[in-house]
């Protein structure tokens, strides 16, 4: 009997575990598709509401926009996808004087092009010219943009508003002209981990394309930074290693009273991560790197190396 169990029981147990894993993965994919469908439905409803509101109240809002721009300070969190922008935005929105949006600002605005409108995934910088704006571009749509965002703030009465969209990394100079009191906080992360995350989360995007996207977006971001009055760059690795210290520094940069920051740094954070669940702040870089084999690293390291060096990250010997 024991021989029979050893011969047939263990393979059956392995098959059962394998089947259970496949069922769980399928359920997650279905759940993700359901969430994406509901998200698209809500976004369409929000954008339709913005259009109707502008039709009814646009002239009055435009007349009062100059005063709004002088009194409200906008904070823009920018950086490549998978760099920690969601975590950083949630930490800053824990301040009692900061209002936030329910989604990325690009999803709520009706006047600026989005990569998804063109069928592009998360690695869209090969088409950067379609989305980039600077201070020389037309700002007449500024009041409409502010209207779309202000309608969705969780507390419109607060003096500071925060917006986060990776594509706005290419529009900082333009946003600085539309919102004269704007301040920009950019976050960067090890390009290898970002590359792996983009390709993992959007199947079908080659690692090389994701690597080029990370390098190109950060190149454009750093090129625009010297033209801004208020710009601060932080590293994901520093943020997760010392979140309280980095936040104190950023609150000083944003002229926000640290006493009014109510975040519990030991509590789970609902940010996007490998687990897909709220977890305490931690460094996920090692787990991301572990997903890249030697062949993958050999393919992406030469693409990433120049920008990695510029940002102070180590590179492999093969990458130079």
pLDDT one-digit tens code per residue, 71-109: 899 999 999 999 999 999 999 999 999 999 999 999 888
The whole-number pLDDT of residue 8 equals 53
Total count of residues recorded for the chain: 320
What is the mean pLDDT of the segment spanning 44-53? 74
* 293: DSSP letter: -
CB neighbourhood size of 38 (10 A): 10
What is the domain partition of the chain in residue ranges? 36-319
Residue 10 pLDDT: 56
pLDDT tens profile 114-138: 898 887 877 898 899 999 999 999 9
- Cα distances from 162 to residues 73, 103, 117, 218, 293, in angstroms, run 9, 11, 23, 21, 38
Which residues are within 8 A (CB) of 309 and not within 5 positions of it... i.e. 6 or more apart?
315
* Per-residue confidence (pLDDT) for residue 269, from 0 to 100: 80
β-strand partners of 77: 164, 185
In angstroms, the CA 284 to CA 273 distance is 8
**Can you give the C-alpha Rg of the chain in angstroms?**
22
Tally Cβ neighbours within 10 Å of residue 263: 17
Q: Encode pLDDT of 197-220 as tens digits.
A: 999 876 678 999 999 999 999 999
What distance, in Å, lies between the first and last C-alpha atoms of the chain? 61
Rounded Cα distance between 164 and 167, Å, is: 9
pTM of the model: 0.83
* Strongest mean pLDDT among 60-64, 268-272, 297-301: 297-301
How far apart, in whole angstroms, are the C-alpha atoms of residue 221 and residue 173? 10
Beta-carbon neighbour count of residue 106 at 10 Å? Answer: 20
Task: Convert the pLDDT of each residue in 142-189 to its tens digit.
Answer: 999 999 999 899 999 999 999 999 999 999 999 999 999 999 999 999
Which residues are CB-contacts of 291 (< 8 A; sequence separation ≥ 6)?
A: 196, 200
Both tokens of 289, joined, read 């790197």
Residue 120 in contact with residue 213, Cβ under 8 Å?
no
Which architecture characterizes domain 36-319 according to CATH?
Answer: 3-Layer(aba) Sandwich (3.40)
Average pLDDT over the chain reads: 86
Judging by beta carbons within 10 Å of its beta carbon (0-12, 13-18, 19+), is residue 50 exposed, middle or buried?
buried
Who wins on pLDDT, 217 or 3? 217
**Which stretch of 47-51, 150-154, 263-267 has the lowest confidence by average pLDDT?**
47-51
Confidence tier at 110 by pLDDT (50, 70, 90):
confident
Farthest-apart Cα atoms in the chain, separation: 86
Average pLDDT over residues 33-62: 71
- Sequence-ordered list of residues with C-beta below 8 angstroms from that of 89, at least 6 positions apart, any chain: 77, 100, 162, 164
Q: DSSP alpha helices (H): ranges in the chain?
A: 2-4, 10-63, 65-71, 85-93, 105-108, 142-150, 172-178, 191-201, 207-224, 236-241, 243-253, 285-290, 294-310
Alpha carbons within 13 A on the beta-carbon side of 106: 17
Looking at the DSSP bridge assignments, the partners of residue 188 are: 235
């Amino acid at each position: 009997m024991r021989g029979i169990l050893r011969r047939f029981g263990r393979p059956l147990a392995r098959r059962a575990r394998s089947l259970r894993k496949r069922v769980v993965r399928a359920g997650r994919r279905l759940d993700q598709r359901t969430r994406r469908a509901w998200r698209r439905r809500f976004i369409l409803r929000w954008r339709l509401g913005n259009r109707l509101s502008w039709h009814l109240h646009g002239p009055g809002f435009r007349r009062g926009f100059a005063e709004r721009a002088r009194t409200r300070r906008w904070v823009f969190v920018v950086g490549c996808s998978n760099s920690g922008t969601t975590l950083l935005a949630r930490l800053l929105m824990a301040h009692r004087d900061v209002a936030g949006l329910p989604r990325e600002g690009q999803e709520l605005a009706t006047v600026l092009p989005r990569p998804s409108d063109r069928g592009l995934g998360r690695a869209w910088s090969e088409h950067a010219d379609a989305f980039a704006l600077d201070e020389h571009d037309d700002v007449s749509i500024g009041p409409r943009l502010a209207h779309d965002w202000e309608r969705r703030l969780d507390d419109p009465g607060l003096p500071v508003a925060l917006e986060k969209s990776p594509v706005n990394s290419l529009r900082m100079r333009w946003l600085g002209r539309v919102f004269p009191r704007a301040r920009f906080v950019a976050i960067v992360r090890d390009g290898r981990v970002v590359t792996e995350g983009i390709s993992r989360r959007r199947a079908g995007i080659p690692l090389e394309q994701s690597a080029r996207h990370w390098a190109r977006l950060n190149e454009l971001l750093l090129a625009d930074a010297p033209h801004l009055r208020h710009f601060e760059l932080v590293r994901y690795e520093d943020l997760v290693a010392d979140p309280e210290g980095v936040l104190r520094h950023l609150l000083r940069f944003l002229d926000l009273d640290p006493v009014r920051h109510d975040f519990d740094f030991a509590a789970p954070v609902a940010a996007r991560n490998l687990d897909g669940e709220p977890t305490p702040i931690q460094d996920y870089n090692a787990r991301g790197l572990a997903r890249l084999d030697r062949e993958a690293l050999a393919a992406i390291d030469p693409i990433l190396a120049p920008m990695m060096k510029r940002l102070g990250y180590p590179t492999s010997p093969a990458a130079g």
